[in-house]
Amino acid sequence: MLFFYSDSGVIHVQSATCGRTSSQICSVGRPQSEMANVQCSIDIPAVSKRCNGQRECELNTQGLAPQDPCYGTYKYYTTIYICIPAETSVTCHGGYSYLKCENGKIQINAANYGRTDKITCSEGRPSEPLQNTNCYSPNALAPVSKSCNGLESCEVFATHTVFTDPCVGIYKYLAISYFCVQPAVREYPLTSLLPLHFCSTSV
């Protein structure tokens, strides 16, 4: 499992790879032949897709890598992310998300129309439509960004008529993270830079 969190904002993944670029990391008890190839690396885009804009993120590594970058080499996952001081908005299906910046302009960091836990927007709902917590809209970021980026305030309708329905029969909600860009500031400083190494369970 991969697990990381932000205690000072939301996660923004800068890079996520699987492979081996060092003979020292995750090497205890392994034969030298499994550590010799240190030119082994493949990008894992699913990590940023699932984790950007979240305060914490947990992913099962099973099937996470699109392919094995180097057969016979003992691999590990490396994720580098920063913590962005972002605002968050969660709106249940059928409602409107209202975003506002008191100072500066809206810049959308991440958006998802779906369900990633069993608690959010669950009040008064039967348990069956809440079970799928791996529900991610493939196109949520684009319409939210188009509607809100560069404005002081905006609203977005949380419905499958705006977003692709990623899991029919599941009660969904729209989760958005955004930050307010000051007129004289183009980027927020990095608040943390954390390389994380995870040993794989097989070669």
Are residues 74 and 122 both part of a single domain? no
Place of tokens 């506002």: 100
Are residues 149 and 76 both part of a single domain? no
pLDDT digits (tens, 9 = 90+) for 89-125: 999 999 999 999 988 899 898 899 999 999 999 999 9
Burial of 48 (0-12, 13-18, 19+ CB in 10 A): buried
Are residues 17 and 100 both part of a single domain? no
Q: What is the pLDDT of residue 13?
A: 86
* CA-to-CA dists, residue 95 to 17, 25, 139, 147, 191, angstroms: 37, 48, 18, 16, 33
Are residues 66 and 105 both part of a single domain? no
137 vs 203, more confident: 137
Q: What is the mean pLDDT of residues 142-155?
A: 95
Number of domains comprising the chain: 2
Q: Cα 22 from chain centroid?
A: 26
Are residues 158 and 75 both part of a single domain? no
Q: What are phi and psi of 186, to 5 degrees?
A: -95, -25
Question: What is the CATH classification number for the domain harbouring 135?
Answer: 2.60.120.740
pTM of the complete model = 0.58
Name the band, by pLDDT with cuts 50, 70 and 90, for residue 187.
Answer: very low
